[in-house]
């Protein structure tokens, strides 16, 4: 009997000795507090599925500049300019026609509207020690832009987000985050002027 009680006591101590951040609700609270309600941000990332590096400057109101190796995409919240650097052509369209789940939308909308399902310890894709947290909407009809699930890797040491996987019915986008700056002191203008000799395709 004493042996059984001792085993139960040891199990109780072991469970309660887990770090507080390992609790999924507390971990989610701490991460969302760190990143909640940003007015603007700068992100440097690598999109693993395409092996592409990029930078996003973004502000609330669907304003962003996405700079990739082959193109620049700019939105002022109403109009989108998609400039192909190699073809020297720019396609202009309304924001609604290209609205989709994206990296900056995670920080502005998704993080505070999805909920933790489970958490574990797992190295991120760039081999950093991390907590892996699975986020889902409260119910399927609450999914934003078809995003049914988010995998979030946060540094064990700092709780900085180091990787994100945005999972929808049609695709998975995995981002390794190199830098996150919340509410930077300055941002570029969210507008685009095409080079004089660029081909312009206006779809508005």
- In a domain, residue 32? The reply is yes
Residues of the domain holding 81: 20-202
Q: Is 108 part of any domain?
A: yes
The pTM of the full predicted model, rounded to 2 decimals, is 0.78
Integer Cα distance of 141 and 191 in angstroms = 34
pLDDT tens, 78-120? 999 999 999 999 999 998 744 455 778 888 888 888 999 999 9
Q: Which residue is associated with the tokens 């909308």?
A: 109
125: in domain? yes
Q: Is residue 8 part of a domain?
A: no
Tokens 């192909």 belong to 84
How many folded domains does the chain comprise?
1
CA distance 29 to 185: 26
- pLDDT tens, residue by residue, 135-176: 999 888 888 888 999 999 999 989 999 999 999 887 899 999
């Amino acid at each position: 009997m004493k042996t059984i009680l001792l085993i139960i006591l040891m199990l109780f101590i072991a469970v309660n000795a887990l770090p507080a951040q390992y609790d999924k609700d507390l971990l989610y609270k701490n991460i969302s507090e760190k990143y909640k309600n940003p007015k603007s941000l700068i992100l440097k990332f690598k999109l693993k599925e395409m092996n592409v590096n990029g930078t996003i400057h973004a502000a609330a109101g669907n304003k962003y500049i996405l700079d990739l190796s082959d193109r620049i995409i700019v939105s002022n919240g109403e109009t989108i300019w998609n400039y192909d650097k190699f073809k020297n052509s720019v396609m202009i369209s309304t924001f609604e026609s290209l609205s989709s789940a994206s990296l900056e939308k995670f920080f502005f909308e998704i993080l505070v509207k999805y909920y933790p399902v489970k958490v574990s310890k797992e190295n991120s894709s760039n081999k950093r020690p991390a907590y892996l947290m699975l986020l889902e909407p409260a119910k399927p009809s609450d999914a934003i832009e078809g995003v049914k699930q988010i995998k979030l890797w946060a540094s064990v040491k700092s709780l900085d987000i180091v990787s994100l996987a945005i999972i929808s019915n049609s695709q998975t986008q995995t981002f390794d985050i190199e830098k996150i700056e919340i509410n930077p002191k300055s941002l570029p203008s969210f507008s685009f002027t095409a080079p004089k000799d660029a081909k312009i395709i206006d779809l508005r």
